[in-house]
Chains A and B, each alone.
Chain A
Amino acid sequence: MAIDSDVLVVGGGLAAVTAAVAAAREDADVRLVSHKSSTLRQASGLIDALGYVPATEPATPLREGPPTAGRELDRDEWPDPEGPLADPFAGIDRLTESHPYRILGADALREGLDLFDDLAGDAYRGDHTDRNALLPTFGGSVKPTARYPAAAEAGIASDDRPMLVVGFRSLTEYDARAFAGRLEAAGVPFDVAGAEVAFAEAFRADTKITRVAKALDRDEPIEGTPAREALAKAVAPHLHDAVDESGGVDRVERVGFPAFLGDEEGTEVRAELADRLGADVFEIPMGPPSLPGLRLEDRLYDALDAEGVRFETGNPVVGIDAAADGQIETVSVDRKGRETPYGADAFVLATGGLVGKGLDSDREGVREPVFGLHVDQPDDRYEWFVDDAFGDQPYARFGVGIDADGHPLDADGEAAYDNVFAAGGVVSGADVAREKSASGVSLATGIVAGRQAATEATQ
C-alpha cells in the first residue's frame, strides 16, 4: 500500500517549506519529503525579494544569430543593472514576461513575505516596510534585501553610526580590514574600521565555525576566561579605531562579527557582548557554513511541526510510480535501495535549481529528474551560456515553466499535470543571482503552489 497524504511536497528548502505551510493552512493533510538535510543551511539567512533589474539586452544590437560563447562581446555594450532597488515591488514590471513575479503577480510575493514574517516572528526584521534594506555581506559588498535576521540588524548600511568590523587571523576567508575598506569604497554614510583580533587563535587554525559558536553558546573557558568575556576583551582595545572625517578618534557604536555568535543561545551571546562593549553587536551574514541559515532552518522546521506537516529527510523521490488522466497518483521514494510508493491528491515539486540538484544536466541536455518535466533550452549547448561570466547567462533562467496557478508546462505550453505544481529554484525565468531575488521567488512560487495544491486536493 502507498503512504498517502492530500499534498506531497518534494524538496526541503524555503520554497518547499512555504508550500507545505501554505497547503496545511488550507486544511490539507501535508507531507514533505526531502532527499537531504535542508539546503537552507547553505543560505545566508537574508531574504531577498528583488534587488536589481539586470539588463537582458545589450545597449547596441548584437550581430545576427544567437548569442554564443564563441562571440567576442564588449562588456561595455551591456548597460549596468538597474538598482539597488529601493522598492522591490516597483521593479517587477520591468522584469521579463517569463519571470515568475510577472506570471504570478506582485501579490504572490507580498503574500509570500507575509507568510514568512509570520513564521520567522521576532527572529527577523524588515516587515515594517515594503522597501529594501541595505546589509553588508561577507564579501564586503552591500546587498539590498527585504528581510534580515535580528542578529544582523545593527549592521544596516543606511545607519550613520560609526562601525567596527572584527576579524580573526584563523578565519581565512574573511579579512576585516579589507572588508572595512570595501565598505568605505562603496560610499557608506558612516566611519568604519576593521580590526583583526586574537580570540579564535585559542582554537586550531582550521576550526569549524560551529565549534566557535558552540564555545560561545556554552561560554566555555578560553585559557581560563569565559568565551564571551574573552571575545569582548579582545575587541575592546579597538573600539576607538574608527577615524572621522577630520582625522579625529570616533568611538564606534556598533561592532560587526562574522556570523558565529552562538547557535542556540545567539540572542544571549549578542546581548552579553553588547553589554560588555557598550556598543550594538551584529553578525555579518556568511556563505556556507552559515549559522544564520541553520537557525532559519531550525525555525522553519519547527513551524512545519507546529502546522501539523509530516516531514522526512534522507530519502529521494526518484520518479513517478503511477499516473493517469493527466494526474500523477503515486511517486516512488527510494528508501535505501527499495522503492516505496507515496500517494497524494496533489504534488508540489520544490527540488531546487542547478545547484540544488532539482535540475540535472550533462552535455546532452538539462533535465528535471523527478517528474521528467519539460525544461526549455536551446538545442545547441553553446547557446546555454555567454562569454561574460557576469552577463545575462541563459542557463541561469533554465527550469520548468509555470502558468499562473503554478502548474508546470509541457513543451506546448500546456499544464503537464492537473495536480502538480512547481515552486522555487526549479522554476524557470528568474536570474536570481543577478536579481538578488532567490528567496522572494521561493516565497511567491511556494505560496501559490501550496495553496493551489491544497485546493486541488481538497475539492
Chain B
Amino acid sequence: MTRHTDDGETDEATETDTEDVDGSKSKTPVPGVPEAGRDEQPSIFVPDDGEVSDETTSPERPATDGGVESATGGSDSAELDPDAYDPVDVFPGGDLDLREGADSCYKCTSCDTSCPVAEVDEEFPGPKFQGPEQWRLKRKEDHDIDESITSCSNCMRCDDACPSSVPLSQMHNEARGQFVEEQMEKLSREYIRNRILSNYRFFASIASRVPRLANAVAKIPGAMTLGEKVLGIAGEREFPEFATQTFREWWRERGGAQVDNPDKRVAYFHGCYSNYNTPEVGKAMVRVYEHFGYEVMVPPQKCSGTPMFANGMLKDARRHAETNVENLVAAIGEGADVIASCTSCSLSLRQEYPELFDIHGIEDVSEHTFEALEYLRIHEDLETELAGTELADEQSFAYHAPCHARNQGLSRQAVETFRDVEGVEMEDVGDSCSGISGTYGWKEEKYEKSMEIGAEMFEHMEDAEGDVGMTECPTCAMQMEHGTGYEIKHPLQLLEDTVA
C-alpha cells in the first residue's frame, strides 16, 4: 500500500466524487486501461452489530486506498489540524481498497520462501495465497475466507520479503478479521480461547492484583493440563510469572519522572508484558532514558493490539487503539516522541494502526513512534558513549532478532550497539523465527509446529558461546527460555548495566 503524504486536498475530491472509489486524485482514465478499484466490490470489514460504525465517519464516505489520517497534516508540527485528514479503515466509513497491492504481486514467491509456518506445516498454503490470491477470490460475493488464515502467525516476515511492497500482512489482517467476524462460531472453544489469548491484558490486570496467588495457581500440578483440556491452551508451556509490583505501581511509588526537560521528552508505551510480568525492562528504559537527560512520561494505555490482530479480534484491537491514540496524541502535543520497549508494540503503532484503523491522529502516533534502542541510536551518540565502557561481569549473549524487529529494520541493532563494549560478547543466532509468534505457540494445536519452527534457533543458541539469551520481544523471550532454559534479557537491561 502506498501511504500518501499529500495534504488535505484528496479529501475534498473523495467527499464529492463518489465514483472515485480508489481515492486517487481524479486522473483522466486512459482508454483501454481499467481504473484501479472501479469495478470492485468494496473490500470492507463490517462488524455484524455495527457497534463501532457510529463512532467513525459517515458510512457514505467513499473508499480510499490508504491515506493520511493525521491530526497535524503529516508534518512534524505538534499543531493539531482537524482538516488534514484522509480516511482508511477496516470498518464502515472508509474501507480498504487493496487492489493496488494485489496487482503489485508478480508471483515471485519470496513471501512463501520466508514464511516460517509454511516451512513446517504443509497444510498452510502460504502468504501469497492468504494475501493477493485470497483477496481476489473474495471479490466474489459468495466466497468464504479460507479457514487456513487462522494458521498465519502474523510474524509479518512476508512484508519484509516482498520486493514489490505488496501489503501482505494488511491483507492477512483484513481477511482474518473478516473470517473471525463472519465465519467463526462465537461459542466455539477456539473462538473463546483466542479471545482470551488476545485479551491477555484483561486477564493479566486481574491476576496482577494478586500476583502471588496467580503465580501459585499456575504452578498447581495439572493447572496447565486443565487449561489445555478446557480451553486448548498448550499444556507444555509454563505460564509467565506476574511481578509482585507492576511497572506502573513502581512508577507511581517513585513519584514519576525524575528528570524535567521540555526539550527532550518521550512517552513510554510499556505494553502489557513490561507492566505485569517484566517491570525490570520498563525500569531499565526509564533509568537509561533519564541517564541521557530525557523526561519520561507514562501515559495511560491499553494493549497495542498485536495479539488481537493475530487472532482476528479487530473490534477489540480498535477499542484499545482508541485509548492509546488519544493518550499518545496528547503526549505528542506536549512535544514527546513515543517509545516502546517491545518491538511488536512499536510495529503495531507504526504500521498496523494506520493500515487498519481510521482514528483521528493515528498517523501522528505512527510517525512519532520508535523502538527504545532505535531512538537512542538516532538521537544520541551511543557509539561514543559506549566506546571504552566495560561490563563489570563479562558476559556472552545469544541474541535473537524478533520478526517484528526485522520488519522495522532493527534486526542488527543490538549486535551493533554492543560491539565495542568491553566484556560483552553478542552473537546473532541467525535469522530464523522463534516460532511462538505471540499467541500462536500458546495454542494446543500449534504448539508442536511452534517448537519445530523454533528448533533452529534453539540449536543456534546452544551452539553460541553465551548462556544468557537476549531479545526485544517478550514472547520470543518466553520461547527462548522454554526451549533452552536460558535466562533471557532485554537489550535495555544490558544498556542500563553498561551506562547507567
Contact = CB atoms under 8 A, between A and B. Distances in A.
B412 A36 contact: no
A127 B456 CA distance: 32
A336 B352 CA distance: 11
A211 B120 contact: yes
A439 B410 CA distance: 28
A382 interface: no
A264 B458 CA distance: 14
Interface stretch (A37-45, A151-159, A423-431): A37-45
Given A211-B118, A311-B412, A1 B378 contact: yes
A172 to B, nearest CB: 13
Contacts of B161: 36-37, 41
A210 B122 CA distance: 10
Interface in A324-357: 335-338, 340, 356-357
A288 interface: yes
A314 B114 contact: no
B163 A39 contact: yes
A39 B115 CA distance: 15
Interface in B352-374: 354, 363, 366-370, 374
A294 B368 contact: no
Contacts of B115: 208, 210
A412 B147 CA distance: 58
B78 to A, nearest CB: 15
Contacts of B379: 1
B25 interface: no
A357 B163 CA distance: 8
Interface in A223-260: none
B119 interface: yes
B170 interface: no
Interface stretch (A57-65, A85-93, A199-207, A273-281): A199-207
Contact of B381 (A1, A211, A290): A1
Interface size class of A (residues with CB under 8 A): 35 or more
A214 interface: yes
Contacts of A315: 408-409
B122 A207 contact: yes
Of B118, B121, B351, B354, the most chain A CB neighbours within 10 A belong to B118
B455 A218 contact: yes
A424 to B, nearest CB: 14
B482 interface: no
B475 to A, nearest CB: 20
Contacts of A363: 30
Given A314-B410, A338-B368, A208 B163 contact: no
B406 A314 contact: yes
Contact of A41 (B110, B123, B354, B377): B110
B89 interface: no
Nearest to A208: B118
A356 B163 contact: yes
A314 B411 contact: yes
Of A204, A336, A357, the most chain B CB neighbours within 10 A belong to A336
A150 interface: no
10 contacts: A36-B162, A203-B122, A208-B119, A210-B112, A264-B456, A289-B110, A305-B428, A314-B409, A336-B347, A336-B369
